[in-house]
């Protein structure tokens, strides 16, 4: 019989406990597929006595995850602690330095230190696997790194944060304001007490940085991504999108351009007839545009104990059968540098919502500021009335033809400086087929 694969797990919360249970449930099937028995022999967690829904009596407990990572009692280290520094980073580095393969679900760690960790894994000739770090149960890492090796990828984009997708879906379907839907997401455990990382787009940016590296052979660099969250999306925006035949989604987009790889995270209007527009609730979706397969969309649960555990166990199975792919597809030394690329001309145009003071010359002044930057307007719609007071702000929606993010920002800054509007303008990209 093949040697047993001894696994050490650091971080035995919802996902970690699901991993232990899933390994036990699939024990015979995994042995048949890999030719090797995988056993959780050690673990590390904050509370040793906590009931995690499985028998831990035969599992050695470590107070220190770094000590677990370096222990001779394990062959494979699974990091489920979270965070880009502290014990997560220290324990992963310790495991790799001691010649042990690592499985992690930690996108923040990979976004900040993935290059160094990949180089260390290559040096020690061990695996660094992280399928669970992006889009939960969707096998997007393996798809990009191995499944599409015969393709040249032009664009990868998708819904990468279930919290944001849940909030936007609930706002649209139940006509509830953002703050109410956020509180409900927190109550259900979809959002943290401090939701900034999710709703600000930073979680999506970390995941996008990983996908862009795999898709385009570039270094991981979350700082090269333009990021905008969903905090300013209102019911008025969602209703306007609906009337225009669109839905609003927070998308992470990485695409090849003549100037480099453009990476961006922002709310986007997507046509209702597209597959990605049908993805509601906490579900994730990733679309890949490539030369051979053309368009490929993967949809599935983006979070949750069982979904994430499924991806972790898939990585464990690969390591058990002896699969050791290069962590980032290419050797670390072959990855190209990445820089922040200015957002290119956007063929879908922009939706812009303004609260315009009802006074002579305001509309003409706004049109002039747009024209000065070569921005053509497809339509101007006054949505409702201002208040009863003379000169009160009037809600106005502009739809532009193709233009660039830079020019839109410049025009809106000028409109604000002119005093034509009562609040900061809202602008959302429109994706057209």
The residues assigned a catalytic role are: 207
Chain-centroid distance, C-alpha 163 = 11
Contact (CB, 8 A) for 362 and 163: no
For residues 264, 268, 273, 278, the Cα torsion angle rounded to the nearest 10 degrees is 80
Reduce the DSSP state of residue 108 to 3 states and report it: helix
Give CA–CA dist 167/162, Å, rounded. 9
Give CA–CA dist 259/261, Å, rounded. 7
Chain-centroid distance, C-alpha 87 = 23
Give CA–CA dist 181/169, Å, rounded. 9
Please choose, from the candidates 128, 87, 122, 123, the residue with its C-alpha nearest in 3D space to the C-alpha of residue 105. 128
| The pairing of beta strand 260-271 with beta strand 246-257 | antiparallel
**Residue 391 vs residues 85, 283, 412, 414, 424: alpha-carbon distances, Å:** 53, 44, 20, 20, 18
DSSP-assigned states of every residue in 350-412: EEEEEEEE-STTHHHHHHHHHHHTTPPEEEEEE-S---SSTT-EEEEEEEE-SB-HHHHHHHH
The length of the chain in residues reads 433
**At 313, which helix (H) or strand (E)?**
helix 305-320
**At 268, which helix (H) or strand (E)?**
strand 260-271
CB atoms within 10 A of CB 389: 8
Tokens 């455990």 -> residue = 189
Chain-centroid distance, C-alpha 291 = 24
**Residue 15 vs residues 20, 81, 82, 104, 232: alpha-carbon distances, Å:** 9, 10, 11, 11, 32
| The pairing of beta strand 350-357 with beta strand 294-301 | unpaired
**Residue 241 vs residues 244, 345, 385: alpha-carbon distances, Å:** 5, 21, 19
Residues 6+ apart with CB under 8 A from 327: 114, 117, 118, 121, 122, 127, 128, 129, 130
Encoding tokens for residue 100? Answer: 């042990």
């Amino acid at each position: 019989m093949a040697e047993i694969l001894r696994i050490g797990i650091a971080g035995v919360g919802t996902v970690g406990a699901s991993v232990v249970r899933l390994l036990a449930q699939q024990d015979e099937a995994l042995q048949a597929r890999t030719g090797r028995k995988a056993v959780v022999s050690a673990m590390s967690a904050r509370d040793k006595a906590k009931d995690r829904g499985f028998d831990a009596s035969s599992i050695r407990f470590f107070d220190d995850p770094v000590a677990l990572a370096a222990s001779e009692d394990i062959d494979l280290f699974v990091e489920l602690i979270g965070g880009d520094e502290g014990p997560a980073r220290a324990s992963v580095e310790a495991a790799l330095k001691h010649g042990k393969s690592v499985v992690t679900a930690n996108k923040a760690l990979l976004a900040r230190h993935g290059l160094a960790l990949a180089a260390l894994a290559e040096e020690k000739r061990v695996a660094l696997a992280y399928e669970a770090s992006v889009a939960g149960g969707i096998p997007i890492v393996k798809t990009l790194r191995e499944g599409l090796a015969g393709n040249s990828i032009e664009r990868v984009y998708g819904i990468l944060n279930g919290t944001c997708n849940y909030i936007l879906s609930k706002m649209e379907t139940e006509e509830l304001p953002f703050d109410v839907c956020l509180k409900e997401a927190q109550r259900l455990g979809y959002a943290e007490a401090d939701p900034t990382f999710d709703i600000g787009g930073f979680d999506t940016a970390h995941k996008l940085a990983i996908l862009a590296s795999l898709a385009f052979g570039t270094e991981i660099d979350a700082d090269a991504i333009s990021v905008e969250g969903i905090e300013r999306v209102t019911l008025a925006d969602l209703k306007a999108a609906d009337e225009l035949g669109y839905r609003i989604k927070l998308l992470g987009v990485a695409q090849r351009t003549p100037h480099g790889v453009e990476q961006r995270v922002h709310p986007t209007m997507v046509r209702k007839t597209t597959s990605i527009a049908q993805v509601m609730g906490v579900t994730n979706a990733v679309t890949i545009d490539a030369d051979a397969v053309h368009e490929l969309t993967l949809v599935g649960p983006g979070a949750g104990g069982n979904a994430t555990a499924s991806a972790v166990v898939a990585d464990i199975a690969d390591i058990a059968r002896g699969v050791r792919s290069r962590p980032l597809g290419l050797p670390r030394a072959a990855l190209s540098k990445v820089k922040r690329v200015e957002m290119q001309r956007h063929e879908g145009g922009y939706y812009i919502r303004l609260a315009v003071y009802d006074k002579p010359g305001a509309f003409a002044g706004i049109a002039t500021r747009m024209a000065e930057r070569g921005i053509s307007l497809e339509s101007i719609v006054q949505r409702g009335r201002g208040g009863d007071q003379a000169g009160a702000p009037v809600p106005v929606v502009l739809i532009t033809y193709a233009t660039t993010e830079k020019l839109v920002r410049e025009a809106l800054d000028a409109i604000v400086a002119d005093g034509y509007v009562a609040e900061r303008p809202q602008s959302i990209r429109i994706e057209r087929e």
